[in-house]
Amino acid sequence: MMLMQNETIKSILEKAADKENESYLLYKNVAGHAKDAHTRTILENFAEDELKHKQVLENFNIESLGDKEIKDITRYGVSEYFTGGSLDENSDFKDVLVYAAKREKLACEFYDKMRRLVAGGDLKRLFDWLAKEESKHKEDIEALFWEVVYR
């Protein structure tokens, strides 16, 4: 799915909310399979954060923006948010954490690019906040990865 020139803010926010929901479901599913309570709690917290991001995107008051569109896009798109890889039945917990860290990195890059494409105001602040949130998730997942590897 490529972000098309002149795509509306509404459709971009809807796609972003869908990606946040996918991340929520991933973390919730993995948490259900985690062997220890500490790891399960961390993953459940990640899931709740992603659900919060989805709700913020869905509740953003786009009517206040009018009919603004993102223009002059140089191949920035939601496709950059996709990881291209997938998990399968042979994936272990470490594989899941690497996959999740990559998703969070791509999400951070996506929101940062969107932040730079908008003129300012509430939408710019929203994308800035989401980029920082996803960056923090990436760092937390990477820390969990090293904790799991060296347990």
Which three-class secondary structure state does DSSP give residue 60? Answer: coil
DSSP bridge pairs for 8? 69
Give the length of the chain.
151
83-115 burial code (b ≥16 CB/10 A, e <16)? eeeebeeeeebeebbbbbbebbbbbbbbbbbbb
pLDDT at site 44: 92
Q: Is 135 a residue whose pLDDT tops 80?
A: yes
- 1 falls within a domain: no
Residue 24 has pLDDT above 90, yes or no: yes
pLDDT in tens, 53-98: 999 999 888 766 655 544 444 433 433 444 445 666 677 777 788 8
Residue 35 placed within a domain: yes
The percentage of residues in the chain with a pLDDT greater than 90, rounded to a whole number, is 20
- Number of folded domains in the chain? 1
Q: Cβ(46)–Cβ(27) under 8 Å?
A: yes
Checking 40-46 for CB contacts under 8 A at 24+ apart, the result is: 42/140, 42/144, 46/100, 46/137, 46/140, 46/141
Q: Is residue 2 part of a domain?
A: no
Predicted confidence at residue 49, as pLDDT, reads 92
The domain of 129 spans 9-149
Q: Decide if 138 is inside a domain.
A: yes
Residue 1 has pLDDT above 60, yes or no: no
Question: Does a structural domain hold residue 70?
Answer: yes
> Quick check: helix, strand or coil at residue 86?
coil
pLDDT digits (tens, 9 = 90+) for 100-113: 888 888 899 989 98
The pLDDT value recorded for residue 120 is 74
C-alpha–C-alpha distance, residues 79 and 93, integer Å: 25
Residue 4 domain flag: no
CATH assignment at residue 14: 1.20.1260.10
Residues 142, 33: contact at Cβ < 8 Å?
A: no
* pLDDT at position 50: 93
- The three-state DSSP-derived secondary structure of 109-120 is HHHHHHHHHCCC
125 within a domain of the structure (yes/no): yes
